[in-house]
Amino acid sequence: MNKRSWAEPFKIKMVEPLRMTTPDEREAAIAGAGFNTFLLRSEDVYIDLLTDSGTSAMSDRQWAGLMLGDEAYAGSVNYYHLEDAVHRYYGYKHLIPTHQGRGAEHILSRMMIKPGDVVPGNMYFTTTRAHQELAGGRFVDIIGDAAHDVTSTEPFKGNVDLKKLQAVIDTYGPSKIPYVNLQCCVNMAGGQPVSMENIAAVGALCHRHGIKVMLDATRAVENAYFIKVREPGYAKKSIEEILREICSHTDGCTNSAKKDSLVNIGGFLCVNDDALAEEARNMVVLFEGLHTYGGLAGRDMEVMAIGIAESVQYDHIRARIGQVEYLGGLLEKAGVPIIRPIGGHGVFLDALKFLPHIPRDQFPAQALAAALYVESGVRTMERGAVSAGRDPDTRQNIFPKLELVRLTIPRRVYTQAHMDVTAESIITLFEEPERVVGLRFTSEPKYLRFFQARFEPTQGDLVLNRSAKAGAASAR
Ligand SMILES: *Cc1c(COP(=O)(O)O)cnc(C)c1O
């Protein structure tokens, strides 16, 4: 039996000291942040699992690459390095760099969606849906039911339900569907992958009706790893080969390079169609910058090219997902309700099971994220009703089936001991859940409200009452 652990394929060359805080300091900090972990200052955070977006550690080669930035306004050599990397690993014909993923989503949505169109996708993503709606379109969910079911342990819970896709095509007709948005390792479902079989079937069905498939490639490398280890026939293929095969079934992609591609900022749009590429290049000049930099410095494009090549190394991706599975395993062993199978980029707590005493309109996941910060200085985020926002027609709160707290693991940043501390503090809360208090809005932004909303506890001033069991421990 192979007993080798997922141990990191790197050693640490430079360290960034962290500040330890007291529970009193954290109570004051979370109240000052309106009980929204997005509004905390990072210097008040011990272990930051808010997001894996742009928070990865760069390699020594990437840092060296920064010095090779060619900051010419037009035709930077780094643009051509990035283009080579995208051609080689993703395989699309045309590359349009953007400042990050939503820049690519903005251009794609504006260029392809007309008012009244519908855009089917395997579960919504916040920025993706917002840009579809701003362009006058409407998102329609075509993900399989398993994705909404916290008890399902299917290996590819991100899969599109082909019957739902066919029904959308039958109802609206291909002329109302500018493209199907196919997301890899579906973020809002807990990082759940899509199988190659499903990707191929979606491509074939859409292409039969003359509908394009645009991949959200943000987590396609993590998805490729799951295909390799879970899908029959792929064990011997390299991550690189699997990634190319995923992309080959689609007509283009948007990508946030802040995730898989191991950079702190950057993204891109790719299309195979020449006319669409020309339109995207016209548009990128208006919103991002010239088509050979798209809102990025030359050095940013250089580190992205290097990061893409590093991201498809098997040892890297195995350790990245191995660390996520390690944290999930600790929580599972303690009986903490998490989404299974454990996803690619984080562990998701089921807040409805964790805090059954808090009603949904008091936002249990938002409260749990705030309470966990007070308990331990670990920062996480809500993925539930606050993130889901309001129905565009009725303006009522949307209450999705999933009410989750996301523990997202930055790549190559934290150690196994950090994962242990995180698990210990969650398990402590899980033993006395009634200490956590529900929240209500005190201010609610119109767009993507979860980023900047403020709240207050529904009773008293605290989101987490001091432990009855360990009164003395609060002096820690
Ligand atoms: C992060 C993300 C985006 C948006 O990318 P940004 O770089 O944050 O603008 C889009 N889709 C998915 C699946 C993501 O995870």
* Packing angle, helices 239-248 and 196-208, rounded to 10: 20
Residue 259 known to be catalytic: yes
Give the start-to-end residue ranges of the domains of the chain.
23-52+314-469, 60-311
Residue 208 known to be catalytic: no
Residue 383 known to be catalytic: yes
Kindly give the residue spans of alpha helices, DSSP state H, lying in 265-363.
Answer: 274-287, 298-311, 314-333, 351-354
Residue 450 known to be catalytic: yes
Q: What is the DSSP letter of 160?
A: B
- Topology alike, domains 23-52+314-469 and 60-311: no
Question: What SS3 state is found at 215?
Answer: strand
Q: CA-CA distances (angstroms) from residue 51 to 176, 348, 356, 380?
A: 34, 12, 25, 8
253 CA to centre of ligand 1 in angstroms: 12
* Total-model pTM: 0.93
Residue 151: its pLDDT value, please? Answer: 84
Which residues lie below 8 Å from residue 321, measured CB to CB, with a gap of 6+?
6, 222, 225, 226, 344
* Nearest-angstrom CA–CA distance, 336 and 333: 8
Fold entry, domain 23-52+314-469: Aspartate Aminotransferase, domain 1 (3.90.1150)
* CA-nearest residue, atom 3 of ligand 1: 101
16 CA to centre of ligand 1 in angstroms: 26
Q: Considering the domain 60-311 in this protein, what is its CATH number?
A: 3.40.640.10
* CA-based nearest residue to 344, from 157, 213, 179: 157
Ligand 1 atom, smallest distance to 102 CA: 9
Only one residue has tokens 């809360």, namely 429
Q: What is the pLDDT along the chain (476 residues), one digit of tens a residue?
A: 566 788 999 999 999 999 999 999 999 999 999 999 999 999 999 999 999 999 999 999 999 999 999 999 999 999 999 999 999 999 999 999 999 999 999 999 999 999 999 999 999 998 999 999 999 999 999 999 999 988 899 999 999 999 999 999 999 999 999 999 999 999 988 899 999 999 999 999 999 999 999 999 999 999 999 999 999 999 999 999 999 999 999 999 999 999 999 999 999 999 999 999 999 999 999 999 999 999 999 999 999 999 999 999 999 999 999 999 999 999 999 999 999 999 999 999 999 999 999 999 999 999 999 999 999 999 999 999 999 888 888 989 999 988 999 999 999 999 999 999 999 999 999 999 999 999 999 999 988 898 999 999 999 999 999 876 654 444 44
- The continuous run of DSSP H or E covering 454 comes out as strand 454-457
Residue 474: its pLDDT value, please? Answer: 43
Only one residue has tokens 């809500």, namely 382
Is 126 near ligand 1, meaning CB less than 6 Å away?
A: no
- The continuous run of DSSP H or E covering 14 comes out as none
100 CA to centre of ligand 1 in angstroms: 8
Residue 61 known to be catalytic: no
Is 124 near ligand 1, meaning CB less than 6 Å away?
A: no
Residue 399 known to be catalytic: no
Report residue 78 as tokens: 């780094």
Is 256 near ligand 1, meaning CB less than 6 Å away?
A: yes
Ligand 1 atom, smallest distance to 51 CA: 1
Q: Do residues 299 and 68 make contact, with C-beta atoms less than 8 angstroms apart?
A: yes
Which residues lie below 8 Å from residue 25, measured CB to CB, with a gap of 6+?
44
127 CA to centre of ligand 1 in angstroms: 7
Residue 73 known to be catalytic: yes
Q: Which residues make beta-bridge pairs with 454?
A: 443
Residue 475: its pLDDT value, please? Answer: 40
Is 192 near ligand 1, meaning CB less than 6 Å away?
A: no
* Nearest-angstrom CA–CA distance, 349 and 332: 10
Give the active site residue among 22, 73, 114, 333. Answer: 73
28 CA to centre of ligand 1 in angstroms: 31
Is 223 near ligand 1, meaning CB less than 6 Å away?
A: no
* CA-nearest residue, atom 6 of ligand 1: 101
